[in-house]
Amino acid sequence: MWQLYQFPLCPFSRKVRLLLGEKGEGYELVRESPWDQRDEFLDMNPAGQTPVLVDKVGGLVLIDSAAICDYLEETIERATMLPGTAAHRAEIRRLAVWFDHKFHDEVVRPLMYERMEKRLVHRLSPDAKALREAMRLANSHLDYVDWLLDHRRWMAGPLFSLADLAAAAHISVADYLGGIDWRGHDRTRHWYAGMKSRPSFRPLLSERMEVVGPPDHYDKVDF
Amino acid sequence: MWQLYQFPLCPFSRKVRLLLGEKGEGYELVRESPWDQRDEFLDMNPAGQTPVLVDKVGGLVLIDSAAICDYLEETIERATMLPGTAAHRAEIRRLAVWFDHKFHDEVVRPLMYERMEKRLVHRLSPDAKALREAMRLANSHLDYVDWLLDHRRWMAGPLFSLADLAAAAHISVADYLGGIDWRGHDRTRHWYAGMKSRPSFRPLLSERMEVVGPPDHYDKVDF
Ligand SMILES: N[C@@H](CCC(=O)N[C@@H](CS)C(=O)NCC(=O)O)C(=O)O
Ligand SMILES: N[C@@H](CCC(=O)N[C@@H](CS)C(=O)NCC(=O)O)C(=O)O
């Protein structure tokens, strides 16, 4: 049985959970707060980051969400999330990385820092200016996503893929943290309603992080 | 013929160039300075980052160094840089990501900003404190690399891999920018001397970036 070291709002762990869910692979959650920098966790992952996926029986420790997803894709054939030709896969990976880096660094990370980490770790209040800037960037990035979805059925092309999982993972955390204004983003909202109704997504939507709650619409498929 | 949009000190472009070189694949360099945010470049890559690898004939545009490396691995069988089992590949990817994120964000990016971008774009002098901190982190990260190489022949295990290329790409840029003090890192220095003498590496070592030159030892295999 897989064990996933994570915390409820870690977007990279959410991406891995969505992939495990789509593949119908069972796993157990282990709560890990990377900001605690536990020695045992640092021994396991010198980078000190979640997610880490462990197979105790096989003695396997997988680190980094992209490396974990590649491992799962290579070893579990069913429900491939990297479908198509090598060129299709390159487009899927480009967009997964775009969410993992660009959308994360400019939207999710500042929201997490201001609304979660500051309260939880530093006992400080969020900075209104930083929040406004993250929300402004979220809005402009969703314009790009609207444009993509105007031209294709799914995020990276005609087929459902890892790019949709990465997108849903990051957008869901930003949405939980109140960073998304859905007005004017009907294309993305429609796609996201479809993601929310997938069985792989349901368990994530019902979880809560201590100290910070989501807006009312967060777990509703109609929103 | 491939065209690679890059500039001489972009570590992600260096990683791709090393992979193309190891595979004996020809390519042409196109100089791109991402800080100029050229419209034509943003049309090609909305993330505005180098490297971008283009195949004009096939009309293929590949974005993000990890996606590019995966594409090249999937389509060119010779000289695989992801050798071994799925578990070996996961370890290779973990370390490639460790250099691309951790080592880059904490060492290469601040060195590039302080010593190159500030001079080139903002006409400012580097900040001594930021440089010292980057060099301190470089030193502690090289301790980890020494430890890895004490336990294995190459960066990620018994076989030469993408992890060695990623490591050499980032370390070479940090070294060009004077950020590496090699004293006390004999294990890594020995590995790096081997990397420097590879035919895939030689062309990179002879290139120079305007406004900032490397230290004397930079392109010497014996250093
Ligand atoms: N490249 C990593 C990034 C993981 C990451 O940034 N995780 C965050 C939590 S969402 C973390 O552990 N942050 C603590 C730290 O970076 O020290 C991945 O894709 O797994
Ligand atoms: N994830 C990207 C990162 C590329 C990257 O950060 N490139 C730098 C140059 S070394 C860049 O273009 N920076 C400008 C920017 O981020 O706006 C990759 O692996 O290709």
Task: Please give the structure tokens belonging to residue B83.
Answer: 């050798």
Which of B50, B71, B72 gets mutated to test ligand 2 (max ligand atoms within 8 A of its CB)? B50
DSSP B35: G
**Which is nearest to A178 in space by CA: A131, A142, A140, A211?**
A131
Q: Taking CB atoms and an 8 Å cutoff, what residues of chain A touch B47?
A: 98, 101-102
DSSP B102: I
Distance from CA of A37 to the nearest CA of B (A): 16
**Domain locations along chain A:** 2-75, 86-205
CB A48 less than 6 A from any atom of ligand 1: yes
Q: What CATH number belongs to A86-205?
A: 1.20.1050.10
Give the H/E segment covering residue B55: strand B52-55
3-state secondary structure (DSSP) of residue A181: coil
Q: What is the pLDDT of residue A56?
A: 87
**Which is nearest to B72 in space by CA: B28, B7, B16?**
B16
Burial class, A50, CB count within 10 angstroms (exposed 0-12 / middle 13-18 / buried 19+): buried
* Residue A86 one-letter amino acid: A
From CA A203, how far away is CA B110, in angstroms rounded?
Answer: 40
**Which is nearest to A62 in space by CA: B88, B152, B149?**
B88
Any chain B CB within 8 A of the CB of A223?
no
Q: What is the pLDDT of residue B67?
A: 98
Ligand 1 centre to CA of B213 (Å) is: 34
- Residue of B60, B66, B75 with shortest CB distance to A93: B66
If you average pLDDT over residues A8-16, what whole number do you get?
Answer: 98
Distance from CA of A92 to the nearest CA of B (A): 9
Count the neighbouring beta carbons within 10 Å of the beta carbon of residue B57: 8
From CA A210, how far away is CA A124, in angstroms rounded?
Answer: 15
User: Does the pLDDT of residue B193 top 90, yes or no?
Assistant: yes
From CA A195, how far away is CA A154, in angstroms rounded?
Answer: 11
Percent of chain B with pLDDT strictly greater than 90: 96
Contact A89 B68 (CB under 8 A): no
Ligand 1 centre to CA of B209 (Å) is: 32
**Which is nearest to B66 in space by CA: A145, A85, A84, A92?**
A92
User: Does the pLDDT of residue B5 top 90, yes or no?
Assistant: yes
Any chain B CB within 8 A of the CB of A90?
yes
DSSP B71: H
From CA B99, how far away is CA B202, in angstroms rounded?
Answer: 21
From CA B134, how far away is CA B107, in angstroms rounded?
Answer: 5
Residue nearest to atom 1 of ligand 2 (CA): B64
- The upper half-sphere exposure of residue A141, i.e. CA atoms within 13 Å in the direction of its Cβ, equals 26
pLDDT class of A69 with cuts at 50, 70, 90? very high
pLDDT in tens, B155-188: 999 999 999 999 999 999 999 999 999 999 999 9
User: Does the pLDDT of residue B56 top 90, yes or no?
Assistant: no
A5 within 8 A of A32, measured Cβ to Cβ = yes
DSSP A23: T
Distance from CA of A11 to the nearest CA of B (A): 17
If you average pLDDT over residues A121-134, what whole number do you get?
Answer: 95
Residue with tokens 């050499």: B168
Count how many residues are written for chain B: 223
Q: What CATH number belongs to A2-75?
A: 3.40.30.10
Any chain B CB within 8 A of the CB of A46?
yes
CB B66 less than 6 A from any atom of ligand 2: yes
Interface of A with B in 151-210 (CB under 8 A): none
From CA A89, how far away is CA B50, in angstroms rounded?
Answer: 19
From CA A175, how far away is CA A160, in angstroms rounded?
Answer: 22
Q: Taking CB atoms and an 8 Å cutoff, what residues of chain B touch A98?
A: 46-47, 64
